[in-house]
Amino acid sequence: MTGLRKANLGLAATVLAVGWGNIAAHLLGLVDQAQFQLIWLAVELPLGVGLVVTALVCAVQAQRRELPTLWLDRAILRELQVIRSALGPPYRRSARPATHFGYTKGGTGIVVSMLVLCTIEIIVVALVVDRIAFRIALAALALYAAVTVLGLIRERERFPHRVANGALELHWGRARVARIHLDLIERCYLARQFKWSYTGYNEGVGVLTPKGETNVALRLTHPIAFVLPRSAGRGDVINVTDTLALYLETPQAFIAQVNRSRLAWGGAARDGAGRGGAARDGASRIGAAQDGAARFGARKPLDIE
């Protein structure tokens, strides 16, 4: 444990001790209201700022030096990524390559609603709350929530699904959910469904949708790892599946590109160009998927073909 990490943990303990001690002293009548507020502003606030700064530095250092990270480090880094996405330049859909396919259009209604609610909350807090300190604190929290929501939707726009280098890469925001070699795809076809309302692993099917609807289905010859990230740096949820249901903004174009790439990749493989490298690269993935097939069980068919 580094010295900065020890200092960070010491600050955390001090912040908790001073905060709860101040509250207890105020409830017991040992300090009056003015003294109570003075302790918060003169002692607790600087300690809190120091705690946040040292936690940020610890998280960044752990990432750069590839040191063991705490769940808090991963959560902090994730928040920084989201904030950077929110404050960065807007993503231009027109500049997206033909092999990249978005999945956010039509699913931004909830995000816009949350942004509107955050704005209303700031206005209501300014009208209802009397104390200026509480106004500032609550308004800052509402603004932070709005920035986080905006960052999440922008991340999904910046990291679309991709068909390249003999593989299909499926993303959910910054996280890569699956990388599927094209020779593992048995079928890619239109299959519009409203059966699943959220992204996840449902009834043996890997689902990626932002709006409670899927319009493309994938059948695979072997089960693959379907990896979904969890919040607050708690690690990933890994499942095994050979059936995927996706929502795409341009499903026909996606299916056409996947099928063209499958044919091109298959022809190159038959000619001996790049087949050995792809096989060696995919051997461990296919072996792991076959090992997990027993846990996966029977294939769960989609309702619509």
What is the C-alpha separation between 165 and 153, in angstroms, rounded?
A: 27
The β-bridge relationship of strands 161-164 and 100-101 is antiparallel
DSSP SS3 for 38: helix
Burial 114-151 (b: 16+ CB within 10 A, else e): bbeebeebbeebeeeeeeeeebeebbeebeeebbbbbb
Nearest 5°: the CA angle 278, 279, 284 is 110
What pLDDT does 93 receive? 58
Pairing of strands 236-246, 205-208: parallel
CA of 177: how far to CAs of 46, 81, 108, 285, in Å? 41, 18, 20, 14
DSSP state of 182: G
Q: Using alpha carbons, list the distances in angstroms from residue 3 to 51, 57, 110.
A: 14, 12, 44
The single residue listed with the structure tokens 């209201």 is 33
Per-residue pLDDT of the chain (305 residues; tens, 9 = 90+): 567 777 777 878 888 888 888 888 888 888 888 888 788 888 888 888 887 787 777 766 665 665 555 666 666 777 777 777 777 776 665 556 778 888 877 656 666 777 787 778 777 777 777 777 677 777 788 788 878 878 877 887 888 898 988 899 998 887 888 899 998 999 999 988 887 767 788 878 888 888 778 899 999 998 988 887 664 344 557 788 889 999 988 899 999 999 888 888 765 554 554 444 444 444 444 444 444 444 444 444 444 44
Its pTM stands at: 0.60
Closest CA to 143 of 124, 122, 126: 122
Burial class of residue 80, CB neighbours in 10 A (0-12, 13-18, 19+): middle
Q: Looking at the DSSP assignment, which residues form a beta bridge with residue 241?
A: 224
- What does the CA dihedral 124, 128, 133, 137 come to, rounded to 10 degrees? -30
